[in-house]
Amino acid sequence: MQYIDKTNVKFKDRAYTLLDSFIQGQWQQSENCYVNLAYENFNNEKLTKWLLEEQEYYCCYCMKHILKEAKILKDERLIIKNETTLEHIIPNKSKNSLDYNKYSLYGEIRKSVFFWDESKMSSIKLNMPPFPHILAYENLVVSCNGEIPDQGKSKCCNNARGNKDIEPLFYVKTVRTDIKYDFKGIIICDPKYDQTIKFLNLEHQTLQLFRRCWLNLPSKYTPLDVINASKDEDLRNDIVDDMDISMITTSDKTTIKNSVYWKTFMNYFWFYLYKVEEKL
């Protein structure tokens, strides 16, 4: 997992301008209040594009690379195809300001975000920042759609979390040392993070398998070989057959060779980079 820095002015300034324009556009002078000021009424295409760039196209939780799931057009419109979701750190539907207090110590939330209570705030014209939590740049990150290849309908990340209370690990500056992965693909972390890992379903057996295969990829192969193997079954078989049987079992090999699994597995190459950087 990696830290997301929300102080980069390259992204922050653009996001602030976009959000301020939308929010102020919802002010109805004749009514002396905001009308339809809700996340659901906000066109998030540009913001999603910028957040993807900010995160280097990795899911904020599972580290799936989601560049290939999004098509950026020349006019900067973004077609997401439901492969990404915007994650509210303080849940969008929160009805209790205590939810704000839980997360205010993370990232730039205390400085740049306030809890939006429509019943109390709609008649007060905002002077931003801070921004209401339903739209605040510091309260939004990009998650994958959470779909995991499996025999059932398993979900991870944002779609597994829902509104559950978690630790936003990507806002912990020491996350690269706090969250480790062993060669079996298992997450090693302080027990205080266990509930968050559970709520996000990050220890799902398929995610463990993906991490395990990347961390045990034979040195003669590269991420590009893995990507090319999605269309080359012989190469795919060679890569998997060369994996250490003591770490990647026969059952693992049968599963990962399946084209459906492989096409998702290949987008988890962050763990190859993790292995290289950690000198594992």
The answer on pLDDT for 268 being more than 50 is yes
CA distance 229 to 132: 46
CB environment 139-173: b (16+ within 10 A), e (fewer): bbbbbbbbbbbeeeebbbbbbbbeeeebbbbbbbe
For the chain, percent of residues with pLDDT exceeding 90: 76
Look at residue 166 and give its three-state secondary structure. coil
- Give the predicted TM-score (pTM) of the model: 0.91
Q: In this predicted model, what pLDDT tens digit does every residue of 177-229 receive, in sequence order?
A: 999 999 999 999 999 999 999 999 999 999 999 999 999 999 999 999 999 99
| Top-confidence residue, 98 or 238 | 238
- Residue spans of the domains in the chain: they are 1-203, 204-280
Say what the pLDDT of residue 123 is. Answer: 73
Residue type, 91: P
Give me the chain's average pLDDT, please: 91
Say what the pLDDT of residue 71 is. Answer: 52
CA distance 41 to 44: 9
Mean pLDDT of 64-89: 67
Q: In this predicted model, what pLDDT tens digit does every residue of 168-177 receive, in sequence order?
A: 999 999 999 9
